Amino acid sequence: MNEGISFGIKRIGDVFKISVPISPSVLWATWFILLCAFLFVSWVLVHHWGYYGVKENRKVFAKTIYFVGGIGAMILLAIFIGAYSFIQ
């Protein structure tokens, strides 16, 4: 049976399939790089806040917000890598 040429989106979508072979180990490597970047930036920020005299109450507030957000994001990233592998 001759199907002919279809310009429907689904048909074109069937033709243009792009494979993105990202293994979980690539994601773990990305996670590790992000962890290193996060630790480095955290170290610099905490040093600056302490050494250059950010007021105590603001320093505590900034540290709390920053580390809750940052560590929360790192945990979420790890969860998403796990889910990426197991949920199909």
Partner 1 sequence: MVTLDKDEHILFEVRKHWFVLATEIFWGFVALVVPIIIFSIASSLPVVFQTSGNAIMLFLFLYTAWLLVVWMIMFVLWTEFYLDVWIVTNKRLIDIEQHGLFSREISTMQLTKIQDVTSEQHGIISTFMNFGELRVQTAGVEKEFVIKNVIDPNTLRKKLDDALSKIRNKESF
Residues near partner 1 (CB under 8 A):
9-10, 12-14, 16-24, 27, 30, 34, 37-38, 41, 44-45, 48-49, 51-54, 58, 62, 66, 69-70, 73-74, 76-77, 80-81, 83-85, 87-88
The residues, any chain, with a CB within 8 Å of residue 63's CB and separated by 6 or more, are: 46, 49
Minimum Å distance from CB 1 to partner 1?
23
User: Are 85 and 24 within 8 A, CB to CB?
Assistant: yes
| Residue closer to partner 1, measured from CB, 1 or 9 | 9
Measured distance CA(84)–CA(24) in Å, rounded? 7
